Amino acid sequence: MFVANPKNRLVRQSFKSFSLSLIALSFTMPVAAQAVDVDIYGRAHVSVDVLGDGSDYGLNLSSNASRIGFRANHRIHDNIEVIMQLEQKVNFDERGGEFATRDSYVGLRGNWGQVRFGSFDTPGKLLRAKADVFNDRLGDLRNIASGDNMSFDPRFRNSIHYRSPAFYNTTFDIQYSPHNETGSTRDNQLQAISVGVNYSKDRLWLGAVYEMNQLETRDPTAIRLGGSYQFTDAWQGMAFYQHASDIAFGDRDVFGGGTKYRFGDYAVMGQIYHSTDNDLDDTGATMLAVGFDFYVTKDFTLYTILGVTDNDQLAGFSVSAGGRDTQLFPELGNTASGLSMGLIYNF
């Protein structure tokens, strides 16, 4: 007669419990996985450029704000969602790139708005980009608006950001950095703040931003105003104004506008911007750029741009500096010029 061994019975019970645990886990894992949405996205943007500094010309290859990123969100409550993004710059022209050098953050989102922590575009940078016909291309508005000590487009380090929900088509943003540098601080002497308001309804967008960065000896400050209007389904106009103060050699104003007209799979566009003199005479500049886009597919664009920056005698603004890896700055008083042929692939 067979007599059950207590040790064998214990083993069978343990194996049964382990098997039931595996079955339960197999049912719960898909639920957990589905609760978190993760997206991989990116942009490959490369151009071949002929760049001139007023003395000579050269053929160049440029990677223009190319990137790869990861986004995730997870709902933890009926009205609270965790959001996260890691974005890295990619250099197609000269190899390399550092991790999380672009918009990278973690935060919470709900019908009360959103709060984020990390390093990412400020309200001031977003306003400029929205009014910029050639953002991240030859002729980028930053060639004028962020030239000659007017650096109001870099991302804040160590920043905290809140965006309100829309009230009567209006949203409010405030982004603050207690220490806009690497490392720690004990005195918060390098703070930065960017406060913005945006109104958007139908075909109209209007925006205003105040931004200030504390430095060792100065507190550069900018007021930015921007707007766009969709005159027809094909034709859009944009405008931008900036007043920069507490910068080296005195205040500056930047103003101008652009337009874009689309017909089928093609578009023509152009913009012109001017920087006034600072406290010194003959330190202003005017940039003009015109371009042509061919939208091969929704995610793939070919383009050509011709741009020129006419500098006063003591000015050295570029036409190829904003949002691009390959930049050429002219000698003071020289005219900067460029012809760019590029492709953009979004995925």
d(CA 192, CA 177) in angstroms, rounded, equals 5
- Per-residue confidence (pLDDT) for residue 12, from 0 to 100: 45
- Per-residue confidence (pLDDT) for residue 8, from 0 to 100: 44
- Per-residue confidence (pLDDT) for residue 117, from 0 to 100: 98
Between vectors from CA 312 to CA 308 and to CA 317, what angle results, nearest 5°? 50
Query: Mean pLDDT by 10-residue block, N- to C-terminus, for the chain (347 residues)?
Result: 42 44 45 68 98 96 96 93 95 72 95 96 97 98 90 93 98 96 86 98 98 92 98 98 95 98 98 97 98 98 99 97 92 97 98
Q: If 0-12 CB within 10 Å is exposed, 13-18 middle and 19+ buried, where does residue 102 land? A: buried
CB crowding 299-333: b at 16 or more within 10 Å, else e:
eebebebbbbbbbbeebbbbbbbbbbbbbbbbeee
Q: Which residues pair with 301 in a beta bridge?
A: 295, 344
Q: What is the amino acid identity at position 13?
A: Q
Q: Give CA torsion, residues 117, 89, 124, 159, to 10 deg.
A: 20
β-pair type (170-177, 67-77): unpaired
Q: If 0-12 CB within 10 Å is exposed, 13-18 middle and 19+ buried, where does residue 147 land? A: buried
Residue 270 token pair: 């152009």
d(CA 294, CA 262) in angstroms, rounded, equals 10
- Per-residue confidence (pLDDT) for residue 4, from 0 to 100: 43
- Per-residue confidence (pLDDT) for residue 238, from 0 to 100: 99
Closest to 219 in 3D by CA, of 172, 274, 180:
180
- Per-residue confidence (pLDDT) for residue 93, from 0 to 100: 78
- Per-residue confidence (pLDDT) for residue 97, from 0 to 100: 60
- Per-residue confidence (pLDDT) for residue 22, from 0 to 100: 40
Q: Tell me the domains of the chain and their CATH numbers.
A: 43-346 (2.40.160.10)
